[in-house]
Structure 1
Amino acid sequence: MRTRSSFQGKRSFRLSRLRLAAVGTALAMGLAACGSGGEGATPAAEESGTPVEGGTIVAALAGDPQTLDVAQNSGALTIYVGQNVFEQLFQFDETLTPRPMLAEDYTMSDDGLTYTIPLREGITFHNGEPMTAEDVVASLERWMVVSGPGKLVAEDVESITATDDATVEIVLNKPRYSLISDLAAYVQAAIIVPAEIAQAAGDQPMADDQIIGTGPFKLGEYTHGQRIVLEKNPEYTAIEEDWGGFAGAKRAYADELEFRFVADPTQQLNGLQTGQFHWAQSVSPDQYEAIKDNPALTVEVTDTGLVSTVLLNHDPASPFSDLKARQAMNMLIDKEAMSRAAFGPDILWTPLSGSFAFEINEPMYSDAGQDVYETYDPDQAKELFTEAGVTADTPIRIATTQTYEKYYQMAVVMQAQLEEIGLTAQVDVFDFPTMIDRLTTAPTSWDISMTGFSGIPGAPSQVNYLTPTWPGGYKSPKMDALLAEYNQATSADEAHDIVDQIQQTVWDEIPVIPISPNKSLQVSSSKLQNLSTFRPGVFWNTWLAG
């Protein structure tokens, strides 16, 4: 990248500018005795709300993440662990406002091209080294190579430099309305790591011995195929503000977080009920009514979640490179029936919506194109498939996983619906990391798949499938132009008008098929106190009652 001198006439936006960025832009489970998992907690308080120091929180994770590099990997397994280890310059609070975390604040020049970011003092990495501006520069430069959102930011970046040990300057080649929200995004996040690690990892996933962040927990052990152990970071200094979400005060009360890899949701629930686990990622939603009143468990629905989505392959080798086939698939799917079969009780997926954002995410939510989303017409779907040249002679290949039972159920529903109109569907089952890898590395091997996308993107560019960097290879000059136009916005109203156009284009071109906003069922032992409902797997400010 080229460098050039700073612009003059800078003005401070500080938190007011952070709020403006959010307004415009803002991958889920104990009897009275907790068994061996609760050993070591100081018996200082029962359920009085008084934090208790010590102990090991044992969490059942649905599989081995393979990597904890949350800058490069977008999988929920990676995020649930990594969010306790790494931090960013800015992170979203519970209202989806970006707040300064490793940054002290920032200023922006009058022309919107130069951002000056002073860093918080006294921040140290898990290896004991102080965080400096050079670490931030190296981390952001790597993020712009390995992260989908980062690659999009890179197109607008002229330079990132350290003006001194505690100040970073970002110079853009054109204004980018979403920059602070981009830096706060938690999927493929702009995490800050030591410069030597960012440079050594380059465009590859960080190795286990490179998992060094600034967060309240640090990596103690990673035994692949078995478990991950995070240890309390004794050098962590929390900020005082209680912002919630991913931001604000973070305090590690437990001595350790132990993530055990348990693929079977029934085994996860049994482990909760016998005291083996304190938290489980994947208790089946079908268990909701049976366990919601169990006093030994805390059963909650998270405030946010994933927009469960059917992926369509735009590769020329797939029938879904034809818009008519994509329109047909949308008309064929009974979204309410699929949601009920895959996601459980209505409370976890209603109201139905075709938006790429949850309704609480006001800056990004839009009901444009809802009429297309709601169209259910198998007869018309059959006609459109015929016009697209799709026949029973060639099976439609559905790549799915049983790591998350809901995605397998989505595949089963689609297979049945395709067969009902005389087509053939082949379901191929993989573990989740392998499935995601195949979608990228073997683009001619699949036609349909499924995953979930964050319902709280901070900007349209954080909706991964809107760009060719995501499996499926959707390319659209119209969408590219709208994404670029969004970043030229100068007000929240102007930005939201463009969000409406982007959402309408999703339903005009159907890059994917959003099914429903799928919140998470978070089930934990009643001994686990003050667990966040903002997102699953947030274990700071959480403790074990004695």
Structure 2
Amino acid sequence: MKLKLAFLAATVLVASPTMLLAQEKGGVINVATIGEPPTLDPMSSTADLVGIVTQHIFETLYTFDKSWKVTPLLAESLPEISADGKTYTIKLRTGITFHDGTDMTSEDVVASLNRWTKIASRGKQAVGFIETIEAPDASTVVIKLKQAYAPLTSLLAFNNSAAIIIPSEKQAEPMTDFVGTGPYMLKERRADQYIQLARFDGYKSRDGESDGYGGARHQYLDEIRFVPVPDPNTRLEAAVSGQYEYVDSIAVESFDRLKSSSASQPVLLKPFGYPVFVFNTAEGVAKNVEIRKAIRQALSMEDMMAAAFGGTDFYTADGKIYPENFVWSTDAGVEGNYNLADPEGAAEAAKAAGYNGEPIRILTSRQYEFHYKMAQVAAEYLKLAGFTVDMQVVDWATLTQRRADKALWDIYISHSPFLPEPALIGSLSTSSPGWWDTPARKAAVDAFTAEVDADKRVELWAEVQKAIYDDVPFMKIGDFNAVSAKSNKLEGVDPAPWPYFWNASISK
């Protein structure tokens, strides 16, 4: 199945292109991020920040090309799938070396995939379908399923809650040795100062051209240094002055100022994705689905998006999980459930549902300033509806830790890019924070993931979206574009939802 929206058509670099005849080798770049990642184990976290950093250290069997199709990375080729869809035979690339100098074999892959099914939310999402993971020889892995499971290769390709391959003897939980096969290896981590990666001289790139996250991965840079810069205004000033070679997550209202900088240029990803309010469906006041519906009824998605992103050049108020230019786009469940802005009706609905003034604990962070701005607007609408609001503003690393505890929150605010496979959406997994686990979810999601026919899967996705609107495990707020910045000296960085720097170089 093909997305109507190609990877690089969706992520447009807004700058005058620089023609590069030959990228130069050497140099160090500094990348300003929104904060300190909570971990460097990408299996154990769904935080985008973790994936951005660790995708340079660790690799998966598959990844995505520029058209968002699954493409081989550590696997030699796409899996051979049996006619009944239940047996995946994966041939591995040979001659792949880990950062500790050992060779990658099927033993490492089997151990890593077993670890993934135990600790990663997306691994847990797949494990119920998996019967066995075995290695018939040193360069082959066979996954046998209990029933067909269409999203498996996409799950194995995703860098978020990632099925990374690590040495079989380094499978500790939590991870203690950060040893992968990636083009860069961990050199030093100083908490709240930087994460320093150095070129791995033993890296074996794929042949051919670079292709999105797939294809050849070049190592022009000597080092990549990720620096936490939590304050959004500080990130902006650093981008304007050229202090960093790349600055992630800049407020969209700063776009024109970035355009006037002589040191840097804006990078606009259009459309990037959507902000989301995730409910705690397991414990607390939001466990009651009628309370969740009343909260949704109170809110103006339009006002939240306007506060967060300013003009409509940067956002669209749209309740469909996927916008029109995706094959997955559907109106199912949206009408009468999106952008209602009805605090009076919400107050009546909340009272009928038994709401008795309990605090609605909203967990958010200012490191993504648009999250905080949406939270402020939401709080005012909820107060108009008679809800008691407890706004908890923390750093992003703390938020990702707290959301794992069912006792600590009722809503947390996050965002997601538009993902090529809807089964990658974290909230569809019962183990993802929010813990959506109802008969309606099971019926809709299981039918969707078991179907292998592309056209039928599109129809079944509509049923999943309807279940999302009926059960309200989360609320999509709208579609938005994202702004970052890159130095005029930085070459070879294609705009991407999770920026990568293995093809980057510095012009001298």
The answer to whether the superposition gives a TM-score over 0.5 is yes
Alpha-carbon distance in 1 for matches of 2:386, 2:110: 56
* Counterpart AA for 2:351: T
| Cα distance in 2 between the residues matched to 1:427 and 1:365 | 33
Q: For 1:242-283, what per-residue CA distance to the aligned partner results, in whole angstroms no more than 9, with x for missing partners? A: 352221111121110011121112222222333321111232
Number of the residue aligned with 1:9: none
Q: Which amino acid aligns with 2:330?
A: S
2:457 matches 1:492: no
Partner of 2:307: 341
CA distance in 2, matches of 1:55, 1:194: 30
Residue 343 of structure 2 is matched in structure 1 by 378
CA contact (8 A) 1:85 1:217 kept: yes
Question: Structure 1 residues 542, 360: closer, same or farther in 2, change over 3 A?
Answer: farther
Distance across 2 between alignment mates of 1:367 and 1:130: 49
Check the 8 A contact 2:156/2:163 in 1, yes or no. yes
* Residues 49 and 533 of structure 1: CA distance in aligned 2, closer, same or farther (over 3 Å): farther
Q: Aligned-pair distance for 1:345? A: 4.2
Gaps of 5+ in 1: 1-19, 29-45
Matched, 1:450 2:413: yes
- Alignment partner, residue 399 of structure 1: 363
Runs ≥4 in structure 1, deviation > 6 angstroms?
none
| SS, match of residue 494 in structure 1 | helix
Decide whether the 8 Å contact of 2:308 with 2:370 is kept in 1: yes
User: Which one is further off, 140-149 or 535-544?
Assistant: 535-544
Alignment match of 1:422 (pick from 378, 386, 389): 386
2:34 to 57, 62, 76: 62
Distance in 2 between residues matched to 1:96 and 1:316, nearest whole Å: 36
Which residue of the partner structure matches residue 155 of structure 1?
128
Q: What are the residue-to-residue correspondences of 1:13-412 with 2, within 5 Å?
A: 20=1, 48-105=20-77, 106-198=79-171, 201=172, 204-207=173-176, 210-242=177-209, 244-303=211-270, 305-318=272-285, 320-350=286-316, 352-357=317-322, 359-362=324-327, 364-371=328-335, 372-391=337-356, 393-412=357-376
Q: Aligned partner of 1:132: which letter? A: T
Q: Which residue of 2 aligns with 1:37?
A: none
TM-score under structure 1 length normalisation: 0.86
User: In structure 2, what is the Cα distance between the partners aligned to 1:445 and 1:248?
Assistant: 43
CA displacement at 1:492 relative to structure 2? 0.4
TM-score after normalising by structure 2: 0.92
Contact preservation (8 Å) 1:87, 1:102: yes
Asked if structure 2 preserves the Cα contact closer than 8 Å seen for 1:522 and 1:536, the reply is: no
Q: Is the 8 A contact 2:196 2:225 kept in 1?
A: yes
What residue is the counterpart of 2:15 in the other structure? none
CA distance in 1, matches of 2:149, 2:64: 18
1:528 equivalent in structure 2: 490
SS at match of 1:470: coil
| Structure 1 pair 92–50 and aligned structure 2 pair: CA distance change class (3 A) | same
**Alpha-carbon separation, structure 1, partners of 2:271 and 2:53:** 18
- Partner Cα distance (1:360, 1:56) in 2: 38
* 1:544 alignment partner in structure 2: 506
Change (3 A) 1:417 1:396: same
- Which letter maps to 2:428? L
Q: What count of residue pairs does the alignment treat as equivalent? A: 495
Cα distance per residue 1:21-47 (max 9 Å; x no partner): 989xx9x9xxxxxxxxxxxxxxxxx85
Q: Which residue identity lines up with residue 394 of structure 2 in the other structure?
A: F
Query: SS state of the match for residue 220, structure 1?
Result: strand
CA distances 1:141-194 after superposition (whole Å, capped 9, x unpaired): 101111111112111111111111111111111111222112112210111111
